[in-house]
Amino acid sequence: MNLDLQRLQPYPFEKLRALLADITPNPELAPIALSIGEPKHDSPALVLEALAANLDKAATYPSTAGLPQLRQGIVDWLSQRFQLPAGMLDADRHVLPVTGTREALFSFTQAVVQRDPEGLVVSPNPFYQIYEGAAFLAGVQPHYLACNPADGFVPDFDKVPADIWRRCQLLFICSPGNPTGAVIPLATLQKLIGLADEHDFVIASDECYSEIYAPDQPAPVGLLQACASLGRTDFSRCVVFHSLSKRSNLPGLRSGFVAGDASLLGPYLTYRTYHGCAMPIHVQLASLTAWQDEEHVAANRALYQAKFDAVLDILGDVLDIQRPDAGFYLWPATPIDDETFTRRLLAEQNVAVVPGRYLSREVDGHNPGAGRVRLALVAPLADCIEAAQRIRTFIRSL
């Protein structure tokens, strides 16, 4: 077996299961899970209808590059959503459909990174675990940039030493962030593009939560938008990842896309052809329907906004907790150790959360996730309200 597999750490939910193995949840209360970021809102009916209407296409091998109409639909959505000039994106060169961004984030790293014991994949901390695992399996080291509250949970890129940038082959950014919900400002994205030019690394922007934001607030900016603002029409060294999982409540469809620098996506398409991950045609056609409809996305945003309003109203005076810029997570500081908080909350109130330390790594004695928990507001509104009330009761009992 590949010896780099031994470098992989247990996934956060494996750690969570081990932490809670000896806990008996309060049997008098119904369980409420705020631990896993799996959307629970209804999938849009028009997408499911398109999926069912095209099941006969399952008899046809799909191409790795995807249907031209899907690629064009993605280009149309990107251009409208991120205010890109007409014609800036070419459906034949700048877009590839992927079977969920999780596999794409991992495989893109394998295609881009050159094995080098001194090489780095740089990412925020806390982070989506795929960034770290992809770095290990690509034969380089992960390097973590802390997301601290003093900096609005955005890494302080100005403090990164030049030597780190010199060794960096791939920079992962996540905006809105998981679990912090922080959005990276346009000026910071522009600065990162300049650093990528100076030090010759690729920026991979994970934007899977970009469509979940307060309806009365501006939509989060994206990396391609930053490229356009700089007149960077070739998107050099920049790629973005988007998904229907959160935007459209379709995590089981395993549908997303990667878009950006054609000089990167061309070789990556070759990699994907060998990798064998073409999206089934009926899934592609259903995906096109999803990308062409914004009504269900707006309704989705409103549902999350109602949850944030209700939960923050209940917990705002008992927890150090803030409304995130976007996304569907809350990232509060805990009044006691985050592992103890998680264990006792399940035992006493039958509410499941994730300790923040499981989503980040300790660097120089500092783990930016320690002393926090992640609350995923994916359950129905009534359950989120009930969970918040139980958390309030628990905190007041401490």
Domain-terminating residue out of 253, 277, 293: 293
The tokens of 162 are what? 């030049």
In this prediction, residue 149 carries a pLDDT of: 97
Give the Cα separation of 10 and 236 in Å (integer): 35
pTM of the model: 0.97
Selection from 313, 388, 371 nearest residue 148 by Cα: 371
Whether residues 240 and 371 fall in one domain = no
The tokens of 86 are what? 């007409």
The tokens of 225 are what? 């938008």
Mean pLDDT, consecutive 10-residue stretches, the chain (398 aa), reads 91 96 98 95 97 96 97 98 96 97 97 96 97 97 98 97 98 98 98 98 98 95 98 96 97 97 98 94 98 98 98 97 97 98 98 98 96 97 98 97
Give the Cα separation of 12 and 21 in Å (integer): 14
DSSP E strands in the chain: the ranges are: 32-33, 95-98, 120-125, 141-146, 168-174, 202-206, 238-243, 256-260, 329-330, 351-352, 354-355, 373-376
Domain-terminating residue out of 244, 263, 293: 293
CATH classification at residue 183:
3.40.640.10
In this prediction, residue 158 carries a pLDDT of: 97
Whether residues 138 and 22 fall in one domain = no
Whether residues 280 and 300 fall in one domain = no
Give the Cα separation of 9 and 279 in Å (integer): 29
Q: Give residue 224's domain range.
A: 46-293
The residues facing 33 across adjacent strands are 352
Q: Under a CB-based contact definition with an 8 Å cutoff, are residues 71 and 65 in contact?
A: yes
In this prediction, residue 373 carries a pLDDT of: 98
The residues facing 240 across adjacent strands are 205, 259
In this prediction, residue 64 carries a pLDDT of: 96
SS3 202: strand
Give the Cα separation of 106 and 358 in Å (integer): 20
Selection from 241, 379, 374, 354 nearest residue 11 by Cα: 354
The residues facing 329 across adjacent strands are 376
In this prediction, residue 247 carries a pLDDT of: 97
Give the Cα separation of 62 and 280 in Å (integer): 6
Whether residues 281 and 346 fall in one domain = no
Whether residues 36 and 153 fall in one domain = no
Whether residues 259 and 308 fall in one domain = no
In this prediction, residue 178 carries a pLDDT of: 97
Selection from 243, 277, 13, 245 nearest residue 129 by Cα: 13
Whether residues 105 and 240 fall in one domain = yes
Whether residues 10 and 142 fall in one domain = no
Q: Under a CB-based contact definition with an 8 Å cutoff, are residues 233 and 268 in contact?
A: no
The residues facing 242 across adjacent strands are 257
Collect contacts of 6-11 with beta carbons under 8 A, ≥24 apart: 7/136, 8/133, 8/136, 8/137, 9/129, 9/132, 11/129
In this prediction, residue 312 carries a pLDDT of: 98
Selection from 323, 301, 151 nearest residue 219 by Cα: 301
Give the Cα separation of 160 and 229 in Å (integer): 24
Whether residues 200 and 349 fall in one domain = no
Give the Cα separation of 196 and 122 in Å (integer): 12
In this prediction, residue 31 carries a pLDDT of: 98
Q: Which ranges of 126-210 would DSSP assign to H, the alpha helix?
A: 129-137, 162-167, 186-199
Give the Cα separation of 329 and 147 in Å (integer): 15
Whether residues 79 and 198 fall in one domain = yes
Q: What share of the chain is helix, strand, coil (3-state, %, to 5)?
A: 45, 15, 40
Whether residues 272 and 303 fall in one domain = no
* Strands 95-98, 256-260: pairing kind: antiparallel
| Phi, psi of 313, rounded to the nearest 5 degrees | -65, -35
Domain-terminating residue out of 241, 264, 293: 293
Torsion of CA 165, 166, 172, 178, to 10 degrees: -30
Cβ of 368: how many Cβ atoms within 10 Å? 25
Whether residues 150 and 287 fall in one domain = yes
Give the Cα separation of 174 and 177 in Å (integer): 5
Count of the separate structural domains present in the chain? 2
CATH classification at residue 303:
3.90.1150.10
